[in-house]
Amino acid sequence: MSSRDFRELLDARSREGKFLCVGFDPDITKIPAAVKKSGVRETLIAFNRAIVDATKDIPSTFKLNSAFYEAYGSEGVLALRDSIDYMHEAAPGVIVLLDAKRGDIGNTNEMYARSAFDELGADAVTVNPYMGGEPLEAFFAHKNKGIIVLCHTSNPGASELQEAMVGSEPLYQVVARKSLDWNKNGNCCVMVGATYPEQLGEVRAIVGDMPILIAGIGAQNGELEKTIQLGKNSKGQGLIINATRAIIYASSGADFAQAAQKKAQEYDGAIRAALIESPATV
Q: One-letter amino acid identity for 41?
A: R
Instruction: Say if residue 95's pLDDT is above 80.
Output: yes
| Tens of pLDDT, residues 78-93 | 999 999 999 999 999 9
Question: Average pLDDT over the chain, rounded to whole?
Answer: 95
pLDDT, residue 276, reads 86
Under 8 Å between Cβ of 31 and 66? no
Q: Domain extents for the chain?
A: 6-277
**CATH architecture under which domain 6-277 falls:** Alpha-Beta Barrel (3.20)
pLDDT, residue 1, reads 46
| Tens of pLDDT, residues 161-185 | 999 999 999 999 999 999 999 999 9
Instruction: Say if residue 279's pLDDT is above 80.
Output: no
How far, rounded to the nearest angstrom, does the alpha carbon of residue 77 sit from its chain's CA centroid? Answer: 19
pLDDT, residue 220, reads 53
Q: Report the pLDDT averaged over residues 176-204.
A: 97
Rounded (5°) CA angle 47-49-51: 70
pLDDT, residue 122, reads 98
Residue 156 CA to residue 201 CA, distance in Å, equals 18
Query: Which of 103 and 277 is assigned the larger pLDDT?
Result: 103
Instruction: Say if residue 280's pLDDT is above 90.
Output: no
| Residue 18 appears among annotated catalytic residues | no
Choose, from 30, 36, 56, 101, the residue flagged as catalytic.
101
pLDDT, residue 282, reads 39
Instruction: Say if residue 160's pLDDT is above 70.
Output: yes
Instruction: Say if residue 3's pLDDT is above 90.
Output: no
Residue 195 to residues 64, 65, 188, 198, 227: CA-CA distances in angstroms? 21, 19, 22, 9, 9
| Tens of pLDDT, residues 35-88 | 999 999 999 999 999 999 999 999 999 999 999 999 999 999 999 999 999 999
